[in-house]
Chains A and B, each alone.
Chain A
Amino acid sequence: GENVEQHPSTLSVQEGDSAVIKCTYSDSASNYFPWYKQELGKRPQLIIDIRSNVGEKKDQRIAVTLNKTAKHFSLHITETQPEDSAVYFCAASTNTGGFKTIFGAGTRLFVKA
């Protein structure tokens, strides 16, 4: 089945700096790669996603890149702000054998003011 690895597990940056989180996946049939943000005590919520027919997608300060050949994808947050502090999860989704979304272990991001 699908396996998603995520790094780093913890990331601390100064406000205004950029943050990059990287993920790899194992199932070449995966075709949808979402990123979720989970604030303390809250439910995970989708912040951006990318499909396998696209290499890069940007939404204001957030961008995702996908390299299908290497089976890795990344989240880039520019001009970080204290409210970006949260746990971020990458995920890979496949329709093979049923609709399943498999998550990485998460990255706890601290943005220091």
Chain B
Amino acid sequence: IAGITQAPTSQILAAGRRMTLRCTQDMRHNAMYWYRQDLGLGLRLIHYSNTAGTTGKGEVPDGYSVSRANTDDFPLTLASAVPSQTSVYFCASSQRGSGDTGELFFGEGSRLTVL
């Protein structure tokens, strides 16, 4: 069982380029999330999705977009990358509602450097 898989693991990107970080889970969780982690700032929520077909804005959504076409996949897109988007990005999932434990299951992270 893979759990939650992110790709790529690491990427260096020129400013202005478009980039999509991929996230797939095999736990059939209804909710998925994208966080960015920066030193001293902890984990900040970018976007979330409570169920397939719906998305919502988190704490720092500007410059990012997401889609949730099905239960398993939740890609994060940077339309035009800027250096301030250099960060480690974590995708997470959880089962909310019936059977809700609240626990977030994280992927291994994607380290993105924008030059």
Contact = CB atoms under 8 A, between A and B. Distances in A.
Given A44-B90, A99-B50, A99-B94, A93 B42 contact: no
B75 interface: no
A103 B43 contact: yes
Contacts of A1: 59
A34 B103 contact: yes
Interface residues of A, number: 25
A110 to B, nearest CB: 16
Nearest to B3: A43
B94 A43 contact: no
Nearest to B95: A99
Interface string B42-79: 11110010100000101100000000000000000000
Interface in A1-49: 1, 6, 9, 32, 34, 36, 42-46, 49
13 contacts: A9-B40, A36-B104, A42-B108, A43-B90, A43-B106, A44-B104, A46-B103, A46-B104, A89-B43, A93-B102, A99-B31, A101-B104, A103-B44
